[in-house]
Amino acid sequence: MTTDSNYAIHGSTAVIYLDNPPVNSLGHALRVQLDAHLRAAIDDPSVDSVVITGRGKLFCGGADVKAFNTPMSRAEPSSRSIIARIEAGTMPVVAAIHGNALGLGLEFAMSCHYRVASPGARLGLPEVKLGLLPGGGGTQRLPRLVGAQAALRMITTGDAVDSREALELGLIDELIEGDLVEGAVAFARRIVSQAPHRVTSRMRAEPVDTEGSTTAFFAAQRAVLERDRRGLAAPRECLACVEAAYRLPFDEGMAFERERFDVLVNSVESKAMRHLFFAERAAARVEGVAPDTAQRPIRHVAVLGAGTMGGGIAMSFASAGFQVSLIESKPEALERGLGNIRKNYASTVSKGRLSQADVDARIARIGGTLDFQAVAQADLVIEAVFEDMAVKKEVFEKLDAACKPGAVLATNTSRLDVNTIASFTRRQQDVIGLHFFSPANVMRLVEVVRGQATSPEVIATCLSVVRKIGKLPVVVGVCDGFVGNRMVSHYAREAEFLLEEGATPQQVDRALQDFGLAMGRFAMTDLAGLDIGWASRKRLAPTRPAHLRYSKVADRICEMGRFGQKTGAGYYRYESGSRTPIPDPEIDAVIAACAAEAGIERRPISDEEIVERTMYALINEGAKILEEGVVQRASDIDLIYVNGYGFPARRGGPMFLADTIGLAKVYARICQFHATHGEWWKPSALLQRLAEGGKTFAKPE
Ligand SMILES: NC(=O)c1ccc[n+]([C@@H]2O[C@H](COP(=O)([O-])OP(=O)(O)OC[C@H]3O[C@@H](n4cnc5c(N)ncnc54)[C@H](O)[C@@H]3O)[C@@H](O)[C@H]2O)c1
Give the DSSP per-residue string, 449-516.
E--SS--HHHHHHHHHHHHHTT-EEEEE--STTTTHHHHHHHHHHHHHHHHHHT--HHHHHHHHHHHT
Q: How far is the CA of 7 from the centre of ligand 1 (A)?
A: 60
Query: CA 183 to CA 114: how far, in whole Å?
Result: 13
Q: What is the pLDDT of residue 201?
A: 74
Distances (CA, A) of 188 to 53, 123, 146: 13, 21, 22
Cβ–ligand 1 contact at 475 (below 6 Å): no
- pLDDT given for residue 207 in this prediction: 63
Q: Which residue's CA lies nearest to atom 20 of ligand 1?
A: 307
Cβ neighbours around 456 below 10 Å, total: 16
Separation between Cα atoms, residue 175 and residue 140, nearest integer Å? 24
Residues counted in the chain: 701
- On the question of a cis peptide bond just before residue 92, with omega within 30 degrees of 0, the verdict is no
Nearest-CA residue for atom 33 of ligand 1:
328
Q: Which of 107, 269, 383, 501 is catalytic?
A: 107
Contacts of 201 (CB under 8 A, 6+ apart): 110, 111, 141, 144, 145
Q: Which atom of ligand 1 is nearest to the CA of 392?
A: 31
For the question of residue 168 being annotated catalytic, the response is: no
- For residue 502, the model assigns a pLDDT of 98
340 lines ligand 1 (CB under 6 A): no
Are the C-beta atoms of residues 404 and 299 closer than 8 Å to each other? no
Cβ contacts of residue 367 below 8 Å, gap of 6+? 323, 324, 325, 326, 374
pLDDT score recorded for residue 204: 62
Hey, what CATH topology would domain 300-481 get? Rossmann fold (3.40.50)
> What kind of fold does domain 485-692 have according to CATH?
N-(1-d-carboxylethyl)-l-norvaline Dehydrogenase; domain 2 (1.10.1040)
Domain ranges of the chain: 7-265, 300-481, 485-692
Q: Is 107 part of the annotated catalytic residue set?
A: yes
- What pLDDT does residue 2 have? 44
Topology of domain 7-265, per CATH? 2-enoyl-CoA Hydratase; Chain A, domain 1 (3.90.226)
Separation between Cα atoms, residue 440 and residue 324, nearest integer Å: 15
Q: Provide the 8-state DSSP code for 582.
A: B
Averaged pLDDT, groups of 10, the chain, 701 residues long: 78 97 94 96 96 97 79 86 90 96 97 96 97 96 93 97 97 97 97 80 64 79 93 96 92 96 96 96 97 97 97 98 98 97 96 95 98 98 96 98 98 96 98 97 97 98 98 97 96 97 98 95 95 87 89 97 96 95 98 97 98 98 98 98 96 98 98 96 98 97 89
Indicate the Cα dihedral angle 136, 138, 139, 140, nearest 10°. 90
From the candidates 76, 87, 127, 494, give the one annotated as an active-site residue: 127
Q: How far is the CA of 383 from the centre of ligand 1 (A)?
A: 8
